[in-house]
Amino acid sequence: MYIYNVTSNIDESIHDEWLTWMKQEHIPQVLATGKFTKATLTRVLVEEDMGGVTYSVQYRANSKADLEAYYNTHAEALRNEGLKKFADKMLAFRTELEIIDEYSVSFTNKFSKN
C-alpha cells in the first residue's frame, strides 16, 4: 500500500475558503478518480516561519500502478484547479510513502501487527 501525501501551507487570508474547498470539493474529487481507497486530512502542529496554516492530506492507494495512473490521468488537472483558485496564497509539496508494516494496540495483546 502507498500513501500519496500532500502538505500545503495556506495563507490565513484564504484559510477558511481553502479548507471548505478541500473538504467539499477537492478531496472528494481525488477520491472519485478511483485510484485511492481513503483520505486523511490533518493539521500540522508546527508554526511555520513564513506564517500561515499547514495541512497534510494522506491519500491511500492499493498499488504503485494506481498512483502512477492518478499522476498520468488526473493529477495535473486537479492541481491546476487549486492553483487557479488560490494562486500564490497556497504552497504545496508532495511525497510518496510505501507502507511496510502497520501495527496497532489491542486489549488482548499489547501490540499486534495488522
**What phi and psi, each to the nearest 5 degrees, are found at residue 44?**
-80, 125
CA pair distance 79, 92, nearest whole angstrom? 10
Q: Kindly list the domain boundaries of the chain, sorted by start residue.
A: 2-100
DSSP assignment of 59-108:
EEES-HHHHHHHIIIIIHHHHHHHHHHHGGGEEEEEEEEE----EE--SS
**Per-residue pLDDT tens digits for 26-37:** 999 999 999 999
Judged against a pLDDT cut of 90, whether residue 47 lies above it is answered with no
Return left, alpha or beta for 87; rule: phi > 0 is left, psi -120 to 50 is alpha, else beta. left
% pLDDT > 90, the chain: 82
Question: What is the pTM for the complete model shown?
Answer: 0.87
Domain 2-100 in CATH 3.30.70.100? The answer is yes
